[in-house]
Amino acid sequence: MASKETKAGPMNVVVVGCGRVGAQLADRLYEKGHRVAVMDQDPRSFENLSSAFRGRTVEGDVLARDALVRAGIDRADGLAAVMSSDAMNAVVARVARTEFGIANVVARNYDPRFASLLKAVGVQAISTTRWGARRFEELLSETAAHSVFSAGSGEVRVYELVVPAAWAGRAVGDVTADSGGRVVALTRAGTAGMPDDNALLETGDVLHVGCTPKGIQVLQSRLRGKG
């Protein structure tokens, strides 16, 4: 079945699983003006939703096609499978992607070894285990730059760092050389811009750098005056 293109503006979104994560997601999507249906086989799980939620709640077997159709999977622009079971998330995500042609499908993932199965059918996986472990490692380590955004399972991140006096007068391209990183924003005196590689840095500038965890080690070495 051909994939449905995602559209701008309010979307029809199905959230499968109404635990703490699913309820938070459903609440956030509803607050942003999307049409949300949240599905779970345990009716008590809907108590996790905020009192302000006015989307649809659907009780039913999340692996049953007719129950998924009642939740609106056949007209959904996006679907999130956020149950506590990797296997169930994978099954629901695969059905949404391959049988109903939903282009924007995201599945919660605990066991990183399971993520490859999701990627094989074109499903984005949010690996809370892998991301959490990397975030703990980052916070426990002595770092001169800290991550403010993580894409995928943390393979690419956006780091924020403050330009030290030793970097003043150096070009943007000079400090990011050999790191594979790119400066996506430079903030000076409260005003942000997108600098080119020839822009000269000033002490106290705030840089946001898109980089891999390996590449940021090169930048952190330079921050410490070792490169």
Q: Which CATH number do you get for residue 56?
A: 3.40.50.720
**Structural domain containing residue 192:** 138-223
214 burial via Cβ count (<10 Å: 0-12, 13-18, 19+) = exposed
Helix boundaries (H) for 141-179: 172-176
213 located within any domain:
yes
Q: Kindly provide the b/e burial profile for residues 93-107, where b requires at least 16 CB atoms within 10 angstroms of the residue's own CB.
A: bbbbbeebebebbbb
Answer with the residue of higher pLDDT: 226 or 79: 79
User: 17 - beta bridge partners?
Assistant: none
Confidence of residue 112 (pLDDT cuts 50, 70, 90): confident
**Cβ-contact 11, 78 below 8 angstroms:** yes
Shared-domain flag, residues 96 and 179 = no
In 3D space, the residue among 44, 48, 11 whose CA is nearest the CA of residue 27 turns out to be 48
In 3D space, the residue among 6, 97, 164, 92 whose CA is nearest the CA of residue 109 turns out to be 92
Shared-domain flag, residues 118 and 18 = yes
Shared-domain flag, residues 17 and 120 = yes
Shared-domain flag, residues 123 and 205 = no
Shared-domain flag, residues 92 and 201 = no
- 67: helix, strand or coil: helix
Task: Name the domain count of the chain.
Answer: 2
pLDDT, tens digit (0-9, with 9 covering 90-100), for 164-202: 888 899 999 988 888 898 999 999 988 999 999 999 999
Residue 142 scores a pLDDT above 50: no
Q: What is the pLDDT of residue 141?
A: 54
Shared-domain flag, residues 21 and 108 = yes
Shared-domain flag, residues 173 and 103 = no
pLDDT, tens digit (0-9, with 9 covering 90-100), for 21-50: 999 999 999 999 999 999 999 999 999 999
162 located within any domain:
yes
Using the 3D structure, point to which of 129, 160, 175 is the last residue of a domain. 129
Q: Show the CA angle centred on residue 155, arms to residues 150 and 158, nearest 5°.
A: 40
13 burial via Cβ count (<10 Å: 0-12, 13-18, 19+) = buried
**Cβ-contact 90, 114 below 8 angstroms:** yes
CATH assignment of the domain containing 163: 3.30.70.1450
73 located within any domain:
yes
Shared-domain flag, residues 19 and 121 = yes
Q: What is the pLDDT of residue 140?
A: 61
Q: What's the CA dihedral at 152, 156, 159, 165 to 10 degrees?
A: 180
In 3D space, the residue among 165, 148, 151, 144 whose CA is nearest the CA of residue 216 turns out to be 144
Answer with the residue of higher pLDDT: 12 or 218: 12
202: how many CB neighbours lie within 10 A of its CB?
Answer: 14
